[in-house]
Structure 1
Amino acid sequence: MSLVADGVSAGYRGRRVLTDASLTVEAGETVGLRGPSGSGKSTLVRVLALLHAPETGHVILDGERITGTRHRVPASVRTRIGVLFQSPRASADPRLTLEQLIAEPLLAVRHPRDLIAGRVAELADRAGLTADLLARRPHAVSDGQLQRACLARALVHRPRHLLCDEATTMLDASTQALVASVIIGEQRATGMGVLVVSHDPALLERWADRVEDLTTVTRSH
């Protein structure tokens, strides 16, 4: 199993920010990705997450070339990829409790309701979220607590691949360590491939099996 960007170019409103990027994340490995601000790292993550359509090139997921993005991709395909963004505030619906936030992806694909509570409780426990925290909405918790809920949400479908886009940048050291520990535990249990985008060379050195520089996996910017 692998997640591959094959010659991907992408941009926004006619402005290209990523040109001919090729990157592979194999099952069970952690790949670090670094590069200067504005070089297109987050755009590559969004393309790999099937959230943004490339202008050229394509994504290959477990040997299957993917066409389309978001709900144009079957749920059985798009749920193989989890993504954890830098800002939990920007990626969480402020109207939902943390419990509802974690359950939301399962409800969206009509997962059996009698199994949802157990999966949410399992992930909440692993992420260190108590019942009191699960009952709160995003405005009533810290960034670290909210990011832990977002991590549980990203793992709720048992994805084969997890994309982390500067996901620990806004967190204190103890929360960074917890997030990394949960991800590593899931990876060891399931063989999940992980892509870690970060500006922190020490984090990439500790966590990644290999580190790629975006300037070396793209033809030009």
Structure 2
Amino acid sequence: MTSTSARPRPAAGQTTDRDIASFLAHTEPVDALAQDGYLAGHDGRVIAQQLRRPGLVRALTFSVCHSARPDTDRFYQDDEEEAAEWRRRRTQTIRDHCAVCPVRAACAELALRDEDVHGVRGGLPEEKLALRLATDADRLEKARAADDRVERLRSARLDAEREVHRIALMHTGGSVPAAKRAENNGEVRTAVQERDAAKKAHRTESGWTVAA
């Protein structure tokens, strides 16, 4: 796999494209992957498949459509336009916008996760999106299940954080008896441990190997 800058190398024995893609997706911030050209082309396709949905959504903030805001209506056939002429125009529009987009692989992957095969996504027209949706059906089903797990863990993490604040505010002030304050401190410590466990689980499932 190639890029525009050097990156840490995967552990010994990780030699396939998918191994390297998994390593990069789990160790590099999405912003860095987008800026350094890791989410475009064939290599980008393999890496994008390793990202969870929030990462794919984040990647689109680096897209040509987000930064330059081209006229996306040019992807669609005009009324009374000949099909052959429209296809030529669509191909040229893809070359002008999608071919130079640094996150086109992430764009296509997100469309497939969402089963959105209308228009052009990541440089792929409707017919190619539909074909890939069919051929990648098993992989996409697993990816969506993983995305759902991440969302559930994110919700659990937020609930745990709110619980820490709730317990911490239950017994405050100088009038609280020492015994009650000690009991409350113990409850806070337990809630913090549960919050940290939820945070770790969420980050691990999301593919973030280094905890913040």
Larger radius of gyration: 2
Larger fraction in helix = 2
Larger fraction in strand = 1
Task: Tell whether the structures are fold-level matches, with TM greater than 0.5.
Answer: no
TM-score (norm 2): 0.28
